[in-house]
Amino acid sequence: MRILTVDNLQIRKWGAPKVATDRKLVNGYVRNNFRTLEFSDRDVAAMEAPLGLRDLGRRAANRRLIETARNWQPDMVQLGHCDIIRNETLAEIRKAVPGVRIAFRNVDPLFDPANVSKIDARADHVDAIFITTGGEKLRRFKRAGNVVSFIPNPCDPAIEDMDNSARPADAFERDLVFCGVGNPTDPRYPLVKRLHDALDGAMRFTSFGMHGPGAVWGLAYDKVLAGSKMALNLNRTEGDYLYSSARMSQLMGNGLLTFMDAACGYRKFFGDGEAAFFGSEDELVAKIRQFHADDAKRRAVAGAGRRFYQTHFSGEMVGRFIVETTMGTAYSRNYLWADEVIR
């Protein structure tokens, strides 16, 4: 099995990438013994452009992708967030590689109209679409020639390589952390401020990106997670079925006790033994205080959540699901989200 992944690999971030979903899936493909080749659309565009001006390299990046596919003859092309690549290029790849299957994965929210437009634009040109939101909202992207499905945000043991659940409370710099870019129009913005007020003096709570230090990425983000025993998984908007930012994989995969709004629907997969769900702000504050006072319970729940995430939502598991769904082969694993596939 030969897979060509096309994504923004953030090479020019020089070791300080913002997210790593593409890397987790590539690692998963390799762990499944699939031959995998990566193509970074933005980096190729900049490399091919005069004076490194990326926008001037868009046509060249599309041309290089066709050349790559022709040379490498993949069985499957998996697109990520690669807006530079045109749908006309996908048609040329199909001509150059007869029988190739094309998948598109998207990890941004469906409450963002611009993101919905991006998925709509791909829907008629790919064989499968994978989105980190579930439920009926996915039917909008169903076409006669494609399949659409939810996927969880994957983790990877080489990236989520910490286990904070194994460490005692006094090993951490802070008791509670939240990382997210602050936008005053988001409901979570005033919520985080109220949490600071409610927890002030009771524990060490730091929010990076709003009401505290600036946002952190790359190694700085890893160090923040390493120094935190509990964390908030707060989305810009709550309530979209099975939607969560990739933050969930980073928190649970590293063994931080993770608090999340019950409206996200993730009780479908795990319960109070793996994560701390809350239905109201008062319940959230009460549970934060409870887990802060009972470190044995914090460690037990965080550890169970980490084991669940690393087992069922690994890049290896999610990657194999993407391949089998796209290629139309029988499922070889018990994927907990297989009932979210729309054929």
Mean per-residue pLDDT of the chain: 95
Q: Is the pLDDT of residue 17 over 80?
A: no
Q: Residue 302 gets which letter from DSSP?
A: H
Q: Is the pLDDT of residue 200 over 80?
A: yes
CA distance 181 to 331: 38
As a whole-number percent, the residues of the chain with pLDDT over 90 amount to: 91
pLDDT of 12: 78
Q: Is the pLDDT of residue 52 over 90?
A: no
Q: Which two tokens stand for residue 314?
A: 């690994």
Q: Which two tokens stand for residue 33?
A: 């013994």
Give the CA distances from residue 215 to residues 47, 218, 258, in Å, rounded to whole numbers and listed in that order: 29, 11, 19
Q: How do 147-150 and 128-131 pair as beta strands?
A: parallel
Identify the residue whose tokens are 């979570």: 188
* Average pLDDT score over residue span 152-177: 97
* Average pLDDT score over residue span 277-283: 97
Q: Cα angle at 129 between 38 and 244, to 5 degrees?
A: 90
Q: Is the pLDDT of residue 6 over 90?
A: yes
Q: Which two tokens stand for residue 328?
A: 């139309």
* Average pLDDT score over residue span 229-252: 96
Q: Cα angle at 308 between 303 and 314, to 5 degrees?
A: 120
Residue 189 or residue 54, greater confidence = 189
SS3 of residue 17 by DSSP: coil
Q: Is the pLDDT of residue 50 over 90?
A: no
Strands of the chain (E only): list them. 2-7, 35-40, 76-79, 101-106, 128-131, 147-150, 174-179, 205-208, 228-233, 257-261, 276-278
Taking the model in full, what pTM does it have? 0.95
pLDDT of 173: 97
CA distance 328 to 184: 44
Q: In this predicted model, what pLDDT tens digit does every residue of 86-125 receive, in sequence order?
A: 999 999 999 999 999 999 999 999 999 999 999 999 999 9
Domains of the chain: 2-154+314-340 (3.40.50.2000), 164-312 (3.40.50.2000)
CA distance 13 to 211: 26
Q: In this predicted model, what pLDDT tens digit does every residue of 23-48 receive, in sequence order?
A: 999 999 999 999 999 999 999 998 88
Q: Is the pLDDT of residue 54 over 80?
A: no
pLDDT of 104: 98
Q: Is the pLDDT of residue 10 over 90?
A: no
Contact 205, 199 (CB under 8 A): yes
Handedness of CA 68, 72, 73, 77 (dihedral sign): negative
Model confidence at 16, pLDDT cuts 50, 70, 90, reads: confident
Lowest mean per-residue pLDDT among 50-59, 200-209, 266-275:
50-59
Instruction: Give every CB contact of residue 225 below 8 A, 6+ residues apart in sequence.
Output: 162, 164, 177, 231, 250, 251, 254, 256
Q: What's the per-residue H, E or C state across 145-203?
A: CCEEEECCCCECCCCCCCCHHHCCHHHCCEEEEEECCCCCCCCHHHHHHHHHHHHCCCC
SS3 of residue 261 by DSSP: strand
